[in-house]
Structure 1
């Protein structure tokens, strides 16, 4: 179905889309084998030159694939939507999953036996040589203990490449790779030999020359392939297309683009080659409309329809990129997420509206392709045209979870507060989930860690202990607290302790990447690596940050408010009584039969069973009895002595209803985390900055958190991002948005994530679009940073869960990214289903 006002996709785009939908993701071995061979013969070289030779070999020998119907070419893998392995970062988890990766719960990949054999042989070289090995050798036992006990994880970069960057696509569009090589040669020639830094700078520039010369060769291999296919092609139309593709690949990206088709091919080659050099995800195209529009405007020979088809082809190619992770990480990033964030709209460096024709064509591409990638975003400010925001609302109404919407009026000053110039801050883009950065000038290390604020709350309640282990400091027995201030003192002490080890762990991984995996190809497209003569991993970027993100903020805020109200204000509970109930998990059973693992149909049957026994239960009592039924698998048992406590806690006001009493507590809890984080610096000379977003880790890491004072039983999912807890935002979307806006989004400059879920009827007609636009404007006027939407009803999601083959193209917003609903792990599906459905 195409929304009114959107054109239909061409038959070519439909066929290319079906290639993606029908693909069975595979793990391929070619890159791992080539990289290993290159590393074996370069052991006497410096790290930067070794990386250049690795890239050189891969670009020279990686299989060249042109898929049927493609107009923009360049593939990382032979099979569609598949992945290569980068063993220089980590490898042992791959080998452990040779027999299980195809059947695991989240993001399965096929590994043919011959692929496993080739990888096994390549992996023999790598023990002790990976970035993960080096990072682990630097890390203290205490930091590792924190990771093992679910306080935080730095697994994202521990086991893979960094990514989370936006390079200077515009520079390559103008000067080509040849221009980069010429720049490197000139800079190398004028180095001062008396400067001791010259030694390393010479090596950096030499590495850039090697990498970019090899990259030109990679593009020419595609030209050769296109010519080969053209000679054998009986279809004259396709033959002509292949001949033009060959001409494009001969010219770009070696030289600057002269047509819009060449510009599209250039952009994609850059994107593709960045993915080949490293396994980092969230390599984001940035402000696509800004660097592509000049080429569309100048190309007077191209039709609007063909230009749109080329953009649609890029959308398809972005979905061809895939990445495998270890089984646990796959659950945290469920949905084959690669996080290539493409952003349009906003303002120029001079503070003028930046919307142009390509901005709208990108929205058309979303409607045509209807696949999870790219993570499509728009920037909104006071000067954003109403037409642009209304068109974005029409895209939201498609139900794909995009575009995510970002507020210039918060993000620009938050970046300036971190030392970014006004012009650079105005030119920000979004990378990964929700992370803003000054594009092609920043090594942000966004998504550097997941930090479980709710776990720290639990540890605080237990005087620094996890079970019988004294993991954190002794900050006082909770039973001795007499006020909210006593809690804050203990909580801040625990937070300070754990953030210290978070920073240590991140910095260990950071150092390891600089020492073993500098990236010359990527670095030459990030300012000012060429001027400084060093890679981004060594501090070559103008702006350097490390951005760990928190989750569990709403759970913590609600829990602290419940303690304040019922223990210290109303004195309906003692802390001893509360602690006893928490330690007993409110008398409930957890484990394999916990409700988090139950299907919606099982929950429905449990509700019927409970009501058949007692139809007069209030909502809180009904929830308790349903939980007990699901936990035990039997009829409702006799009431637990903790039922009353849990019902009392569950009756408390909750974050998400525009109530200052609870909202400002959530704000303070989040600020305590953010202020601790920003005390630290990284090895690249930059500052730590906090974010508040979970990807889908709120589900996975909720399993590490016991019962909480907000009435949540142990092991259930936590709230996602800065969103209220599921079902707790009872007063409508405006009240929920007002609560979220009260958080300090300025201090959380690494990004915040707010999910809202609307019934399709809420956005129906012109009135629905106007209401949507008004909600966004109001939320942004109240200084919210980001919001994104799922527009779908519960019944459709339940049908898709039951009959996945009928809903292969159903795309939903998970967190800072969209994914095919049917490929998500069931518990992530259930989390999406459980989100509050809003209506105006």
Structure 2
């Protein structure tokens, strides 16, 4: 069995502080941003955004804690957060105006706690300061520009309540949902990048023709952003020196001086060692956050781009493995300090204390195709396992030569920390990137995972994998089906807006049912993509991203911002969750009405519209007699394959000005719970308000024949088509992994699934009894981690609806 080493005392101290997190909210960023925007009100957004980032980085507080060896903060306080009013801060202004959800504690701060687990605090001084900026930002947000106009027909279809963005064209977050070019930053340095931009400007002075004006503004924004980064990192270096001058402990003093010298170096130059590579990555992450509210800045293949530095350090004798492990621990704990203040309602989708710094490890060498496992790969799993971190999400790339030792480490991590790592299949993903998105083989081999499950290129791709500005797709595929069976009216809210596809009880054949669903889905999904195309058309002007663009391959070479297509690869996409609910519902209609004729279409329609009240016998027949997806039954699986194919084929017909690829995804954060809460009962026997099936997983409790049957069912469709990512959740009882033989069985079962062209799987190793005990006695299960769908979370920080959703999933007691 793989043995995890213990952490150092200062790592344990920082871990406890992070675990007991309260997010102090401050207005430092808001103040600097507002001042900068007022000063540069008439400046084009591409320059104005860069100047604002420079001003923010110049005025921000640079903290160094006594226990830190990796430094950096996005707020004024440790674990603190600024605000991004240029995107959306209306929820906080409203809350602070009413003060119903905030209360004064004995520490003199106002606290905002929430059943979801979000815990923020603000001083009265910060509250007053924040409120003073409200009038300026009321009509100056990116969202206000997007809301100003909409395509004809939008209001009616939006009123239907199925488009995820709701009734307005809101854009509360940036599109930045990707793997930035961390490798370029740490190997090139800001001075060289700045010089490249300035050289172009100097060479074209007084000679700007055609598109040169656009290039000039891009390169000028790059110069300003590099200056912002250099300035900020030097301030951190000075903060280390200042801390050292006050330090009486000679060992810590020397360490702080070394950190300060390292920061001064990487402010302009490439990293020279492992610590500098890790620290430079964090510094760049902070720069990106100070620029905009990027939603999911994944670290990509951290083990690959940092290992050459550690390898050199080990050969020179300048570092030990234990020292390197402490740096990795510190890096990921620092990542856990970037919980940005956000609307607690968003936690219903995205989880609590989730940074979405998805980190990809393992896989193959991009040049040779050989297994690329290295010591940092193990160190990352060690950090997650021994500290029981629920964040960031870790994806382990599996190939045919993945070492058994790494399998052992990964499965032991999974046993300790529910749902981590995720297992991704190189043998499916790499050739599919080449086939579906025309990636070069070298770049396909270098893919990373972002957000929940999205597959992207590392440092060369602007993928918009979760949609443009968070518009990920349709709000509920269950409601799409029910609208199709209710003549274009969403029965969940009684709103019109869909196509008139008839009523279930008027459909003469099962092909009529399928045709109604396909017609409604095609219409509503293309509306969803239409809105994404609309907002991108505007956001390329209002929301450029020089901080991202300086690191992404293609942008500096072409003189184009990543938001307008400067990256080497361009795509966008969305996600569908709950498709098993749709396919099981279709199976119920086919079986009960058309094949076995156990009820009429009108009886089934009436039962669903009545939420099965008065039709309990019929509901039990549906649940017990109808074949369900997840049990290796072709009757159900063929319909799941049909539903997923409909989705994929529609995506293939979608494109934008920037990208000819709209990628299909089968994953979700926790959308299946939220979407289910606003979805009427469905023909599969599900009641109103219950969660939909999550991602590609079977409906909760519907899979009865064990994990192998689930694996066979999910392979009923071609996973390689879904290049926006795919998620399969399986819950394993801990007793099923109680022996070494059982762990080998899990490894071999996963291998067999991957050999059958399965793309991804994630395991929750937790019993229903343990979760129910945690509901009754939360303090005794403080560190219990579970996988929801697109993120992991501490069980006790989940709302009851999500806790019950995990409990309701089938518990596999044997492999």
Q: TM-score, normalising length from structure 1?
A: 0.91
The offset of 1:145, in angstroms, is: 4.7
1:577 aligns with 2:603: yes
Deviations, residues 266-302 of structure 1 (Å, cap 9, x unaligned): 1111122222221112101100111101001111211
1:220 aligns with 2:234: yes
Deviations, residues 309-338 of structure 1 (Å, cap 9, x unaligned): 001100101111112333432211122322
1:135 aligns with 2:133: no
1:138–1:508 Cα contact (<8 Å) kept: no
Residue in 2 that maps onto 1:429: 448
Residue in 2 that maps onto 1:619: none
Residue in 2 that maps onto 1:635: none
Residue in 1 that maps onto 2:620: 647
Partner of 2:390, secondary structure, is: coil
Residue 478 of structure 2: which of 454, 476, 479 is its match? Answer: 454
Aligned counterparts of 1:253 and 1:799: Cα–Cα separation in 2: 50
1:125 aligns with 2:136: yes
Residue in 2 that maps onto 1:530: 556
Partner of 1:343, secondary structure, is: strand
2:234–2:267 Cα contact (<8 Å) kept: no
State the superposition RMSD in angstroms: 1.8
Aligned counterparts of 1:761 and 1:190: Cα–Cα separation in 2: 68
The offset of 1:112, in angstroms, is: 3.6
Residue in 2 that maps onto 1:630: none
Residue in 2 that maps onto 1:741: 715
Residue in 2 that maps onto 1:388: 406
Change in 2 beyond 3 A, CA 1:27/1:41: same
Residue 208 of structure 1: which of 216, 222, 236 is its match? Answer: 222
1:182 aligns with 2:195: yes
1:379–1:405 Cα contact (<8 Å) kept: yes
For 1:580-729, what aligned pairs fall within 5 Å after superposition? 580-587=606-613, 640=614, 642-651=615-624, 652-729=626-703
1:57 aligns with 2:55: yes
The offset of 1:141, in angstroms, is: 6.4
Aligned counterparts of 1:81 and 1:816: Cα–Cα separation in 2: 23
The offset of 1:94, in angstroms, is: 2.3
Aligned counterparts of 1:260 and 1:535: Cα–Cα separation in 2: 30
Partner of 1:691, secondary structure, is: coil
2:665–2:723 Cα contact (<8 Å) kept: yes
1:357 aligns with 2:357: no
Aligned counterparts of 2:232 and 2:509: Cα–Cα separation in 1: 66
Aligned counterparts of 2:154 and 2:123: Cα–Cα separation in 1: 37
Residue in 2 that maps onto 1:332: 349
Residue in 2 that maps onto 1:623: none
Residue in 1 that maps onto 2:739: 765
Aligned counterparts of 1:828 and 1:110: Cα–Cα separation in 2: 25
1:28 aligns with 2:26: yes
Q: TM-score, normalising length from structure 2?
A: 0.93
Number of aligned residues: 785
Partner of 2:571, secondary structure, is: strand
1:32–1:119 Cα contact (<8 Å) kept: yes
1:104 aligns with 2:118: no
Residue in 1 that maps onto 2:319: 302
The offset of 1:790, in angstroms, is: 1.1
Change in 2 beyond 3 A, CA 1:67/1:508: farther
1:657–1:736 Cα contact (<8 Å) kept: yes
Change in 2 beyond 3 A, CA 1:703/1:308: same
Deviations, residues 4-31 of structure 1 (Å, cap 9, x unaligned): 5111111111011011012212322211
The offset of 1:190, in angstroms, is: 4.1
Deviations, residues 530-569 of structure 1 (Å, cap 9, x unaligned): 1111211111112111211111101001000011111011
1:281–1:340 Cα contact (<8 Å) kept: no
Residue in 1 that maps onto 2:420: 402
Partner of 2:397, secondary structure, is: strand
The offset of 1:795, in angstroms, is: 2.1
Deviations, residues 579-611 of structure 1 (Å, cap 9, x unaligned): 111111111xxxxxxxxxxxxxxxxxxxxxxxx
1:17 aligns with 2:15: yes
Residue in 1 that maps onto 2:183: 170
The offset of 1:195, in angstroms, is: 3.3
Residue 441 of structure 1: which of 457, 460, 465 is its match? Answer: 460
Partner of 2:762, secondary structure, is: strand
Deviations, residues 510-531 of structure 1 (Å, cap 9, x unaligned): 2332111211111111111111
Residue in 2 that maps onto 1:600: none
